[in-house]
Structures are given as structure tokens and as C-alpha cells.
Amino acid sequence: MTTETTHDGATAHGGEHSAEHGMSTRGYINIALILAAITALEVSTYYVDFGPLFLPALLIMMVVKFFMVVSYFMHLKFDNKLFSWLFYAGLFLAVGVYVAALGTFHFFIR
Amino acid sequence: MAESATHDAHVTSTGLSNVKLGMWLFLGSECLLFGGLISTYMLYRGRVSNGPTPEQIYDIPFTSVSSFVLLMSSLTMVLAVSAAHNKDDRGTNLWLSVTALLGATFVGGQVYEFTAFYNEGLGFTTSLFGSSFYTLTGFHGVHVTVGIIMLMALVAINKRSKVPGSKSETVEMIGLYWHFVDIVWIIIFTLVYLIPV
Amino acid sequence: MAIIERPAPGSTVPALTPAPPAITPARTYGALRRPVATTGWKSWLFTVDHKKLGLMYGATALFFFIVGGLEAVLIRLQLAAPGGKVLNADLYNQMFTMHATTMVFLFVMPMAAGFANYFVPLQIGARDVAFPRINAFGFWCLLAGGIVVNLAWFLGGAADGGWFMYAPNSGPVFSPSHGVDFWTLGLQIAGIASLTGAINLIVTVLNMRAPGMTLMKMPIFTWMITVVQFLLLFAIPVITVALFLLTFQRSFGAQFFDVAAGADPLLWQHLFWIFGHPEVYVLILPSFGIISEVLPVFSRKPLFGYPFVVFSGAAIGFVGWGVWAHHMFASGLGPVSVAVFSLATMAIAVPTGVKIINWTLTMWGGKLVFTTAMKFAIGLVVLFTIGGLSGVTHSVAPSDTQQTDTYYIVAHFHYVLFGGAIFGIFSGFYYWWPKMFGKMLNERLGSWNFWLMVIGMNMTFGPMHILGLQGQPRRMYQWTEARAGEGFFNLAFWNLIASVGSLILTVGIGLFLINIVVTARSKVRAPLDPWNARSLEWMTSNPPKEHNFDSIPHVHHLDEFFHRKYEEDPTTHTMREVATAEEVLAELERNADKHIHMPSPSYWPLVLASGMPVVALGIIYSIPVAIVGGLIMLYALYGWALEPATAPESDFDSTSNNGHAVGASHG
């Protein structure tokens, strides 16, 4: 570089080859197997009566799958925290405003 | 779309790549987009003034299979990213192609599903349920389709010698987009299909 | 008027670094060779330079400001006397809809985007933004969106549902012309500009700061712009959803807002205001940022409580997401929702009040210099406070139900938007004009400009408080003598005052336009540092070179430029000048970077954006046309993807072939 672009190392982070890839192929396949198993369990609720557990179980499984993909396949767990902040800001804001909006329609107390 | 650069990664203030930051910001923004569409569907799913209700037409076994296909495409995508980071061009192209194929299977399933629903009397204008169902799943389908186009374009231009930017980062960015489309479907599958009105 | 008279920088500044090397495209990428013009209209059309784009945003916004202003004048002429005949009811509806739409989406937002584009990279010591081509694409989308929205005037009538476009009133039954279709699609396109701009500027601020510039050393304008971009990033998709739903209803027969089919009209209101309330902070925060730059410079003091101004700005951005339903107090939300949103709305007054206090204490004890920029800044503090106080009265839900849809609301939001956002923008014009154009706006005309605007604005919007409390409803195209009432508070008197005020306002703004012409014709160059300014954007020539800085400054202080000019005398504890602006600049020049390759111009942003209005027209009139638009966009994306953002080394002339692309590298 001919320019003064050296930075005083704010949160210098190796970029390319560092901790971004904390998983092996085997690890990815394991994650996929767990995801598949949870999906099978989800689908089983359609055939088996889970009683009062039905709704919470489905929602919990959905959330678990969601965060597994985000954390492992999208590497958020291993990546710089700034990426997590930016994405989760959008995610939780979305959940917050839309749950509140549906709340004003008395959506959750019918 | 297939553009990136890594030679800036060591000169940015945070040490992070511009493209990757931009992609995560975009995905954060997309949360609000799909949140709005999902909320609209949740509000309107029980409002059937005309035509079939969700329970009457949803084919859970069929949708389960196509959901599973999309879920597995996330695995193949992550393998493509992994191969790209290991500079394994053949592996990258192979897994990218498989991912595109699985995605196409999913979209094909959606086209079949839409056709079947339409034949059973659920049009876009039939009821609030119909309008909001087709809008939500249609938006998702368009996102998958855009993803497939990006994957195929990437496989095609990978064969050229001179592609702007870093190849592995481009694969990684398309991977992030692809996984995002997958997690949106994880939510849609539960909220739209599995939880009855 | 210059505070410190110095000779113009003369020949020392441009001499040392030659013009950027010419590009000779060696090969074709995708479909077309790179544009190469560095002068003339082509250099503007295909530019990716953030400064040129900033000026283009500004010029576009100023044009729409005039359009929106003329619409406002027509509205006031119609309401000047009972039974107005200037406009008919239909045209009146179109006029107030387009006035608000134009002012919000096509003036204040793009003008803020223009300032942000121009000054954020300069303030953080960068050579360009993170994604220069996306930046250009954003501008062309804004222009395309503005054209589409306004095209409706000539194709059967403009949108007529109010800027909030409440459903089901905006549905095909109640608004059969194509106006609303143009409106939804045009705003959709303009929204792409905001979204891409948001991503671009956030990445720029996070990643492209000069060495040593930590977040808490960033100029406050850059901070406020960053908060705004986060608001846009998360708010634009919400309006995108709403606009899609409305388009699908109007063009493809979807039922989203069809009450007969069981739809809930409140769905639109929620989606619109979840976007709409963050949007009002999008409008005001850039102006808060501008005057937070202007007040310290002309008070000869640092900004009082910089961290408080930063964090209150961020707090406004955050709490702004939890107050949207105060626009809907009269819609029957239920007592719990009303109470919650009422409290949140009262809470958001706190960080706003913090800012007012900080500005006041910045001026306290300062050596105030009443330039036009300073006058507008002080005008903002006063007028925004008035508007803010009437805003707090709306947060009290029982009071709000009385005020909803009356002129009291109109008075409130014009005090915060005209007295706030627009006064801030004018402060920015006068403050930054010498930086952008190398010439100072005439201060004498500026003074007239300011006082006429203050008088006009208070005469126009002040009486609206009275009109509203007397019960004059918004959006009624006529008021009648019979209902005007009597005595001091009769509608006739105050409506007339308001209309006269709007004409004074017009003269005031006209003087600004005249000032632009007078300044452009003037031969007098501005001094290098006319205001004795504090932040990095002044640490370069007027106007800045294409690469902004000859060498990227290392930052050690908040107000870095000031600290290079002044040091504290250890004995007297006063600041004394140790270097002139010219000396600071000469120092940067001595260490000038030898090879600077800026991102290269490109056709693709313009081509990509030009496909969008074609798609929009296709959706309205004929789907095959939309497909043609889609093909144009595909073609552009193909070319874009295969073209490196910065031309490869071999394309630069051979004298500089060992240089590197710096700063922005792709996009």
C-alpha cells in the first residue's frame, strides 16, 4: 500500500482464515441430522396428539431449528459479534413490533 | 450480485469485510420484511369468507417433504462454502449445483402446491386467507428463485478465469442469503402449515 | 461573512497532486466498456463519486422542494377565504397528498441523503463510500421514484389518499384513478434508494473511518446520519410490505383491505405507522446533526455534552420504534394499547429535551457569531421546541382525541418539520455551501432569507393551532362562512393570516434561490476555512478534490481539525492558534499519497435503475412492458456482476501502474 491506511487495530480480526470456520464437514452433517430429527418430530405433531404441549412444543422446536441454522450454518456463533448484533437487532425488532401490532388486534387472547 | 473483494479486509476500521457487513445488514432488514408478511398472514389466515379453509387444503406430508428438501439444501450450501474456503473448485461447483437443484425441487414443489390449491378453489382473490397465503409463500418462493439464479450464475462464471473479487467470499455471501431463506421457511412451515387456525 | 479573513488558498492547493490518472478500458466486461469521461454530462451520468452524487441528490431534492412548495401555496390560496374556488375537491385531495409525499419522500429525505453522501465520507476521513456503484444506483432509484410518483399528474390525476394513504380509502373503489398506483410503485422504487443507501452508509461509517477515529470521535452529524440509516434499514421493509399489499389489492385483486371480505383496515394503519414513526425521526435527526455542527462552530465552544447528544440520538432512534400507535389513538385500539403507547410517547420527549438543553448550553457563555447558518440553527432550537411541546400534548390520549384530524396537528408537524427539519437543512446550506462550491452564499440575502422564513413560517403555522382548537378539520377543501364563528377566534381571520404567511414564506425561499444564482455568478472565492470550523470535512480544499484528502489524516481528537489549529496554553488555559488552516492542509499535502485509484465510473447503476420505472408502468398498464423492464434489469445485473468496481491496474495509464485501489473497493 502506498497510502496511510494502516489502522490502529480497533478490533482487528484476521478476516479470511480465522475463527469463522469452527466446524468440520462431520460437524455440519451432525447439525443437519439434528435438524432433520427435529423436523420429523415437528411433522409427527400432525399425526400424534400432544395435548396442551402441542403449541409450545412446536414453537420451541421452530426456534431451536432457527438458531441452529443461524449459529452453525451461518457461522454467527463463531464470527465477529458485530454481525450478530446487526442481524439480531433486525430480528428482535421485527418480533417486537409485529407481536405488539398483533397484540393490539387481540390476536393472542382469542 | 456476485461481487466482492477481500483485499480491503485488512484496511477497514473494524477489520471486517464490507460485503459481509452489508449482507448481514441486508438480512437484518429482511427480517422486518418477512415479519410483516407473516403477521399479515397470521392476522388473516382464519378469515375465509369464500372458498376452502387452510385445514381443507394443506397437504402436510407433501409440504413436509419439500421443507425437508430445503433444509438439506442448507447442508449442501454450507459444504460448498467449506469447499470454496479450501480452494476446492470442483467441490465448490458440485455442491453449488446440488444446492441449486434442491432449491429448484423446492420451488417445483411450490408450483405444484399452488396449482393444486388453485384447482381446489383457492385463488389469489378468493379470500383474505388466499391473498395472504399466496403473498407470503410467493415472496418466499421468489427469494428462493433469486437464490437459485445466483447459484447457477456463480457456477457459470466460476468457469471464467477473471471474476471480480474473491471467489470464496462470494460463495459465502450467497450462502448467507440461502440460509436466511431457509430459516424463513422454518418459521413459515411451523406457523403457516403446522399450527392450525 | 468570513470570521477570520484570509487570502484564498491560491495556487498551493491544486499544484502538488495531479489529476487522477485516466482510465483506458482494456476489455469489455459483460456487455459494455467502461465509461471514461471525466468532464461533461457523461461524467455526472455515470459517476460513482460520492460528492457528485451528493450534489445530484441535493439538486433533485431542491427541485422537488419547489414543486411541493407550489402545491402548498395552492392549498393556502384555496383556504384563504370561505368557499375557495382555486381548486376543486378532487384536485385539492391530490394537492395535499402530493404536497406531503413530495416534501417527505422527495425533499427532506433526499436532501438529508445528499448531505450524508457528501459529508459523511469527508467527516470520517474516507475517500469514498463502501459501495460506490450501489450509491449511484440509489440516487437513480430516487430520481426514478420521484418521476413515477409525479407522472400521475399527467396520466389521469395524482394520488389522492393523503400521504398515509389509509385503507380502504386508497382501494380501487374509492380511488379509481391510477394516482395511487403510481404512488405505491414510485415510493417502492424510492424505498430501494433509502435501503441501499442505509446499508452503504452504515458500512461506510463502520468500516472506513480514518485511523484513530473511534466511534466516539466521530462528528455528531455523522452520528445522527448513522442512527437515521439504521432507522431506514429497519423501517423501509415495513412500508415495502404495506405498499406491496396495496399494489396487489389494486392491480391484482387481492383482498387485504377489502372490509366486505372481512379485512381489518387497521392493518394498513399499523404497517404504515410502524414505518411512519421511525420515518419522522429519519426526517428530523439529520437536521439535529447539522445544527450540532453549526452551533459549536459559531459559539466558539465545543459541543456541550457530546456523549449525551450521541446517546440521546440513539435513544430517540430506539424508542421511536415503540410509539407508532399514537398516530392511531382515535381508531379504537383499546385502553391498554392506548395507555402503553401514550406513556412511550411521553418518554421519547426526554431524549429530545436532552438535546435542546445541550444546544442551549453549547451557546451559553460562547462568543456567538450570528451568521445565517447560526441563525437558522437557533431558529431550529426555538421552533422545534414549540413543535415538540405541542407534540407532547398529543401524547395525552384524551387530549389527542380532541385534536386528531384538526389543524392543530397540522400546526404541530409543520413546526417540527418546517421549523425543525427544513431550518436545519437551510443551516446546512449556508454552512457547507463554500465547501461544496468554493463560494460563500451571500450573507445579506441570507439574513433576509432567514427573517422572511421565520416570519412567514410563524404566520402560516402559528394560527393553525387556533384553527385546530376551534375545530377546523384537516383535508377539507373548503370552509364556510356559516361555520367560521365570530370574534377573535373566528376561522376567517386566522385562515387569511396563514395564507398571507405562506406567501411571505414563498418570498423568503425565493430569496434563497436568488441567492444561489447571485453566488454562482459571483467571482469571489471562499476562503479555505471561512467559519474557523472544527471537523475533518474542512481539512481539504473547497470544493474537495476527487479523492478528498491528499493523505488520510490520523485522528487523535474529537474536532480533529480544530485541535490541529489550536492548542491549549498551559499557563492561561486558553486556546491559542498554532497553525492556520492553510498550514494544516500544506502538511497533509507534503505527505500526499502518490497513487490513488478511485472507484471507476459505471453505466450499470443507471441502466439497472432505469428498468424500474418500466416495470412500474408495466404493472399499471400492461404486464409485457413489465417483463421488458425486468429484462433491462437482468442485463444490467449481468454487466454489473462482471465488472470490477475499480478498473484493473492495466487500465490505468502506465505511469501509475504500481498503485492500489484504496478505500472503497467494490459495490
Please indicate if any CB of chain A lies within 8 Å of the CB of B184.
Answer: no
Q: Which range, of B35-49, C517-531, C585-599, averages the lowest pLDDT?
A: C585-599
Instruction: Count residue pairs from A and B with Cβ separation < 8 A.
Output: 144
Q: How far is the alpha carbon of C246 from chain B, nearest alpha carbon, in Å? A: 12
Interface test with C, best of A1, A4, A109 (most C CBs within 10 A): A4
- The rounded distance, in Å, linking the Cα atoms of C30 and C635 is 9
Q: Which of B79-93, B171-185, C445-459 has the lowest mean pLDDT?
A: B79-93
Residue C115 sits in which domain range?
A: 55-526
Of C209, C248, C666, the CB nearest to B13: C209
Cell 423492464 found at: C629
Q: Exposed, middle or buried: residue B90 (CB in 10 Å: 0-12, 13-18, 19+)?
A: exposed
Tell if the CB–CB gap between B32 and A25 is shorter than 8 Å: no
pLDDT tens string C226-245 = 999 999 999 999 999 999 99
Structure-derived torsion over alpha carbons of residues C145, C147, C148, C154, reported in degrees to the nearest 10: 160
Selection from A86, C235, C279 nearest residue B27 by Cα: A86
CATH fourth-level superfamily of B31-194: Cytochrome c oxidase, subunit III, four-helix bundle (1.20.120.80)
Residue with cell 467502461: C34
Which chain C residues are within 8 Å of A103, Cβ to Cβ?
337
What pLDDT is stored for residue B164 in this prediction?
Answer: 59
pLDDT in the model for residue B162: 54
Q: What are phi and psi of C127, to 5 degrees?
A: -95, -25
Cα gap C612→B31, rounded to integer Å: 24
Substitution target from C633, C662, C665 for chain B, most B beta carbons within 10 A:
C665
Residue A15 in this model has a pLDDT that exceeds 60: no
Minimal C-alpha gap between A20 and chain C (Å): 19
pLDDT digits (tens, 9 = 90+) for C241-272: 999 999 999 999 999 999 989 999 899 999 99
**CA dist list (Å): C200 to B118, C121, C204, C228:** 42, 11, 6, 12
Q: List all chains that touch chain C, counting a touch as 3 or more CB pairs closer than 8 Å.
A: A, B
- Contact present, C113 and C197 (Cβ < 8 Å): yes
Chain A interface mutation, best of B190, B191, B193, highest count of A Cβ atoms under 10 Å: B190
pLDDT at B165 over 90: no
Over residues C292-303, the pLDDT tens digits come to 999 999 999 999
- Sign, Cα dihedral of C307, C304, C419, C326: positive
Inside any domain, residue C455:
yes
Interface of A with B in 36-65 (CB under 8 A): 36, 39, 42-43, 45-46, 55, 58-59, 61-62, 65
> Which cell goes with C153?
399528474
Its pTM stands at 0.92
Q: How many CB atoms lie within 10 A of CB C646?
A: 25
Higher model confidence: residue C8 or residue C364?
C364
Using an 8 Å Cβ cutoff, are C310 and C271 in contact? no
The alpha-carbon gap from A44 to the nearest alpha carbon of chain C, in Å, equals: 33
Q: What whole-number distance in Å separates Cα of residue C380 and Cα of residue C375?
A: 9
Asked, for residue C467, whether it belongs to a domain, the answer is yes
Handedness of CA C433, C438, C440, C441 (dihedral sign): negative
Give the integer Cα–Cα distance in Å for C637 and C639.
5
Render the burial of C486-520: b for 16+ CB within 10 Å, e for the rest: eeeebbebbbebbbbbbbbbbebbebbeebbeebe
In angstroms, what separates the C-alpha of C643 from chain B's closest C-alpha? 7
- pLDDT band for C473, please (50, 70, 90 cuts): very high
3 state DSSP class of C212:
coil
- Please report residues of B whose CB lies closer than 8 A to that of C200: 22
Paired residues of C575 in beta bridges: C568
CB count in 10 Å sphere of residue A58: 20
Say which residue, C401 or A12, is predicted with more confidence.
C401
Number of structural domains (chain C) is 1
Best A6, A18, A48, A98 residue to mutate vs chain B (most B CBs within 10 Å): A98
Cβ neighbourhood burial of C142 (10 Å; 0-12, 13-18, 19+): buried
Placement of cell 414510485 in the chain: C186
User: Over chain C, what is the mean pLDDT?
Assistant: 90
Quick count: other Cβ atoms within 10 Å of Cβ C525? 16
Interface test with A, best of B20, B30, B186, B187 (most A CBs within 10 A): B186
Question: How many whole angstroms separate alpha carbon C141 and alpha carbon C189?
Answer: 6
Q: Is C661 on the interface with B (CB under 8 A)?
A: yes
For residue B6, pLDDT over 50 is answered with no
Reply yes or no: is the peptide bond before residue C543 cis, omega within 30 of 0.
yes
Phi, psi angle pair for B47, to nearest 5°: -95, 90
Please state, in angstroms and rounded to a whole number, the distance separating the CA atoms of residues C325 and C400.
Answer: 12
Look at residue A6 in the predicted model and tell me its pLDDT. Answer: 37
- How far is residue C456's CA from residue C84's CA, in Å, rounded to a whole number? 21
Residue B51 per-residue DSSP state: S
Nearest Cα neighbor of A91 from B27, C460, C482 is B27
- Measured CA to CA, the distance from residue C317 to residue C225 in angstroms comes to 11
Which residues, including other chains, have CB under 8 Å from residue C73's CB and lie 6 or more apart?
A: C502, C503, C506
Window 42-71 of B, Cβ < 8 Å to A: 42-43, 60-61, 64, 67-68, 71
Buried b (16+ CB within 10 A) or exposed e, B145-174: bebbebbbbbbebbeeeebbbbbbbbbbbb
CATH of the domain at C418: 1.20.210.10
The set of residues, in sequence order, having a beta carbon less than 8 Å from that of C59 and lying 6+ positions away, is none
Which pLDDT tens digit goes with each residue over C128-174?
999 999 999 999 999 999 999 999 999 999 999 999 999 899 999 89
Distance (Å, whole) CA C289 – CA C424: 8
What cell numbers appear for B133 in the block?
397465503
Strand partners, C23: C652
CA distance B127 to chain A (A): 19
Amino acid at B174: I
CA atoms within 13 Å, Cβ hemisphere of C96: 20
Give the start-to-end residue ranges of the domains of chain A. Answer: 21-79, 80-110
Structural contact between residues C457 and C419, judged by C-beta atoms closer than 8 angstroms = yes
Q: Which residue, C643, A18, C49, is CA-closest to B165?
A: C643
Burial of C7: CB neighbours in 10 Å, binned 0-12, 13-18, 19+: exposed
The CA distance from C29 to C641, in Å, is: 9
Structure confidence at residue C650 (pLDDT): 63
* pLDDT averaged over every residue in chain B: 90
Q: Using CA atoms, how far apart are residues C178 and C170, in angstroms rounded to an integer?
A: 11
- Gap between the Cα atoms of B9 and B1, Å rounded: 18
CA pair distance C234, C250, nearest whole angstrom: 26
Within a domain: C151: yes
Which residues in chain A (78-97) have CB-CB distances under 8 A to chain B? 80, 82-83, 86-91, 93-95, 97
pLDDT band at C570 (very low <50, low <70, confident <90, very high): confident
Enter the C-alpha cell of residue A47: 399425526
Across the interface, whether the CB atoms of A2 and C595 are under 8 A apart is answered: yes
Residue C544 φ then ψ, to 5°: -65, 155
Chain A residues whose beta carbon lies within 8 Å of the beta carbon of residue B27: 87, 90
C24 pLDDT more than 70:
no
Q: Do A96 and C321 touch (CB under 8 A)?
A: yes
User: Band of the pLDDT at C647, cuts 50, 70, 90?
Assistant: confident
SS3 C258: coil
Cis bond leading into B61, ω under 30°?
Answer: no
User: Which CA distances in Å does A76 have to A26, A61, A81?
Assistant: 19, 19, 8
Q: How many CB pairs under 8 A join A and C?
A: 56
- Which cell numbers in the block locate residue C191? 424505498
- Spatial CB neighbours of A6, under 8 Å, sequence gap ≥ 6: B11, C211
Helices (H), chain B: 18-44, 54-57, 60-85, 89-119, 128-158, 167-188
Count the Cβ atoms, other than its own, within 10 Å of residue C295: 27
Asked if A10 and C321 come within 8 Å (Cβ–Cβ), the reply is no
Distance (Å, whole) CA B11 – CA B14: 8
Amino acid C186: pLDDT? 97
Helices B18-44 + C179-207 axis angle, to 10: 140
- Nearest chain A Cα distance for residue B4, angstroms: 13
Cα separation, B195 vs B191, in Å, equals: 6
Q: What is the mean pLDDT of residues C640-654?
A: 69
Domain ranges of chain B: 31-194
Q: What is the pLDDT of residue C264?
A: 92
The Cα–Cα gap between C356 and C531 comes to 23
- Report residue A62 CA to chain centroid gap: 10
Taking residue C307's Cβ as centre, other Cβ atoms within 10 Å add up to 10
Tell whether B7 lies on the interface with A, counting CB pairs under 8 A: no
Contact B181, B143 (CB under 8 A): yes
Which pLDDT score is estimated for C72?
A: 96
Measured CA to CA, the distance from residue C563 to residue C582 in angstroms comes to 14
| C531, pLDDT greater than 60 | yes
Rounded Cα–Cα distance for residues C106 and C101 (Å): 7
**C-alpha grid cell for residue C532?**
474557523
Given this model, what pLDDT does residue C3 score?
39
Residues 6+ apart with CB under 8 A from C129: C50, C117, C120, C121, C135, C200, C201, C204, C208, C664, C667
Of B158-172, B180-194, C396-410, C498-512, the poorest mean pLDDT is in B158-172
| Alpha helices (H) along C253-334 | 266-299, 306-319
